[in-house]
Structure 1
């Protein structure tokens, strides 16, 4: 599934993914998200990852 083309859809799918992950998985997911999507969606990523442990 390609969700990176639309900001609202990207944000919705990011929220869903974060709700499914256990805390131990979030840091790896965060690193992956920033490596793949920060050029286009860094403000969205910051909204969800700033303040999380790790």
Structure 2
């Protein structure tokens, strides 16, 4: 029973760390570009609303 209980805890720990690291890496790599594009779209939308 103890041997069966220890492996799942060992497997869940690295999974949690990888899940925490992956979103950060993706946010650093892709999030910055997407955020810039979204900000540009919002700025254009505001300009189009205020211009006419």
| TM-score, scaled relative to structure 1 | 0.30
Bigger proportion of residues as helix: 2
| TM-score, scaled relative to structure 2 | 0.31
Higher RCO (CA 8 Å, separation ≥ 6 residues): 1
